[in-house]
Structure 1
Amino acid sequence: MAPLSWRHHTLLQALLSRGPLSERDFHALFTAISGGKNPATHQQLFNDTLLKINKELSYLQFELRACIHQYDGTVYYGVVNNIADEESKLGSKYSVPQIAFYKGLLEAIVHEAGNDGSITNIDALNTRIDNQVVIADGSQSHDSQSRLPTSITNFSLSQKEKTLNELIQDHWLSYTPTGKIGLGIRSFLDFRSWFHNNDIPSCEVCNEAGIKASTCPNEGCNVRIHEYCLEKKFSQRKASIACRGCGTEWPRSEVEDDGAEQANEPEEDQVPSANRRSRTRTRAVKSELVEENERTGPSARRTRRNLRSSKSEAVEEERSAGPSQPTRASKRRKN
């Protein structure tokens, strides 16, 4: 097998130094190093490149993988460690109590937060870490409190807060759109097998762990679907969708309905509204300049020049906004 080229090394170096990259950034990087060949139009070349990289990384138990950030639906690419334990994934940067703190947060988010996949900042800081440590003889820490390391028993609130910020900065955790603490893209990338091994309900559509997902409206059914998978499913089928688990109809959310209505609006309806906004702004600018002109008196030539300039800019703005309704002048010419 031929060794990796500088193009493969560039992709790897970018992911290792910058961390996970969004699909948009990763595709732009690939396009730049491949002489303008975009993955969208050169899909086979893109797949072959990633396949060659992964064949080499497999000897080190690493993998270049794509994953969806469940809180915003964005696709990311990153290099992940295929070894299953949390300590090896977090690496040597974090201390034993910091790793225990992360493990406590991970369990709280995936087990206790339900399908929301997030906890409050206060709940995060109150997470216990003593039950996340295993003593040398294999016994759990809650059975041998007196034998816990001092680094665990003395792990203060300020240290938790500092660790929380570091985990968010390193993309192991993230702030959700509602301001809570959720998993970061690196957790979604690295802990795929851990989610499946710990009985985390999977999305009915993509089979990935449903950390942040919508649940079936039937309270007795535990089927979950990611919001972006649900939106895609509804967009493909205009009719109602029944839950595969219990047959209950899955209702469309108001957000999805609003989004569909905006997407289906004809372009002709958008143009007049843009022109109306342009004319409103034009009238406001004219009014302000006229008032200023009256306050400074008829001798203020600079104000009049500004007024004429603003009128010209407003006319150009109306023209760039698209075709508008006939003006009074055009009506007079027709008459």
Structure 2
Amino acid sequence: MPELSWRHQTLIQALLSRGPLRDDEFHSIFTGLTGKNPGTQRQLFDEYLLKINKALSYVQCELRGFRNQYDGRIYYGVVNNISDEQSKLGTKYSVPQIAFFKAIIEAILQDAAAQGSISDIDALNLRLENQVLTGTESQSQGGPTHVPLPLKNFSISQKQKALDELVQDQWLTHTTDGNIGLGVRSFLDLRSYFHNSDIPSCQVCNEAGVKAELCQNDCCTVRIHKYCLKKLFSKRRGERVCPSCGTQWHFVVPKAELLEEDEESDVPTQSQPPLGPKRKRLETGKTGDANAVQSGSSQTSGSTTTDLRRTTRSTARLK
């Protein structure tokens, strides 16, 4: 296991104690620790992240970068890559609350318009009976499904309380139009779950198009994130068209937004470590899924990998 300095440990501790941090916040902490600006010392920054991830891999954790599909900003956070029976004991959410969260996630992902949100009213009216685990003996024999009483009796007021807690813990968020959307922790932890849920990927970045723009051709399934559209069309001259079917794409690139953030740092991919000034990537894992909602890892204190080992036991998963 690579030995981490106090600076490496402090970066980990910052993410564990505060939860996912926006790139400028995380860069500010890095600058305070090292005296170096990640914007001008990118190779040093990437070397720090690579060394941290090598150490975290021994406790099935990783420092992951991701882009928030609502504001287009890059965030960093520490996630747990495993799910076991012990980790389920660490959740603060009840079974009905977890089922409620799953129902909200599914409702958002099933939106064909890719708005990435549902209204508060729709969220509170979601039925939890659909979240009963499949594959039971009664179901396999075609018999009636037994719905646990806690799910049947989960009231509107209890749903509202769970909703408030999920927003506070950054699993969900209030969007600018007043609806309920995915929080930064969901984008951080649920990457593989999104891909496994058959959500169309963005044509530009290949990440799940949870909140995205659609091609105007009804027969075309292309989705592109708004920030990816800016990146795509700002570098093109002439007609702006769908990269798949060629249909004209009605999109105006704001003149004031020059995509400086996209040139500063790309969102880390899942397998390639940071290498150089332009194609630096965080080493990320592929095993995080919807079970991560039961996690308390990003709010757990710990400045060493020993503390992180405890964190892996406090991260629970949805089933």
TM-score, length basis structure 1: 0.71
Look up the match of 2:19: 19
Count of matched residue pairs: 256
Q: Distance in 1 between matches of 2:235 and 2:78?
A: 32
Look up the match of 2:215: 216
Q: Distance in 1 between matches of 2:45 and 2:99?
A: 39
Residue aligned with 1:148, SS: coil
Q: CA deviation at 1:152?
A: 1.4
Q: Does 1:10 align with 2:10?
A: yes
Q: Deviations over 1:206-233 (max 9, x none)?
A: 1111111101110110100000110121
1:1-335 correspondence runs (5 A): 1-34=1-34, 36-83=35-82, 92-112=91-111, 114-134=113-133, 137=136, 144-145=144-145, 147-253=146-252, 256=253, 259-260=254-255
| Same amino acid, percent of matched pairs | 59
Contact 2:2 2:51 in 1 (8 A): no
Q: CA deviation at 1:165?
A: 0.6
Contact 1:67 1:76 in 2 (8 A): yes
Q: Distance in 2 between matches of 1:89 and 1:226?
A: 34
Contact 2:60 2:81 in 1 (8 A): yes
Q: Distance in 2 between matches of 1:125 and 1:263?
A: 37
Cα root mean square deviation, aligned: 2.5
CA change 1:139–1:221 in 2 (3 A) is farther
Contact 1:113 1:119 in 2 (8 A): no
Decide which structure has greater helix share.
Answer: 1
- Return 5+ residue gaps in structure 1 as ranges: 265-335
Q: CA deviation at 1:4?
A: 1.3
Q: CA deviation at 1:247?
A: 1.5
Q: Deviations over 1:53-111 (max 9, x none)?
A: 111211222111111111111111011222379x9699511111111110000000011
Q: CA deviation at 1:148?
A: 2.7
Q: Distance in 1 between matches of 2:82 and 2:138?
A: 23
Q: Distance in 1 between matches of 2:116 and 2:161?
A: 22
| Amino acid in the other structure paired with 2:124 | L
Q: CA deviation at 1:188?
A: 0.7
Contact 2:2 2:54 in 1 (8 A): no
Q: Distance in 2 between matches of 1:143 and 1:183?
A: 35
Contact 1:125 1:157 in 2 (8 A): yes
TM-score, length basis structure 2: 0.74
Q: Distance in 2 between matches of 1:247 and 1:26?
A: 40
| Amino acid in the other structure paired with 1:16 | L
Q: Distance in 1 between matches of 2:186 and 2:23?
A: 17
Q: Deviations over 1:183-214 (max 9, x none)?
A: 11111111111111111111111111111110
Q: Distance in 1 between matches of 2:87 and 2:125?
A: 25
Q: Distance in 1 between matches of 2:89 and 2:196?
A: 19
Q: Deviations over 1:167-195 (max 9, x none)?
A: 11111111111111111111111111111
Q: Distance in 2 between matches of 1:186 and 1:241?
A: 34
| Amino acid in the other structure paired with 1:151 | P
Contact 1:116 1:212 in 2 (8 A): yes
CA change 1:151–1:221 in 2 (3 A) is same
Residue aligned with 1:247, SS: coil
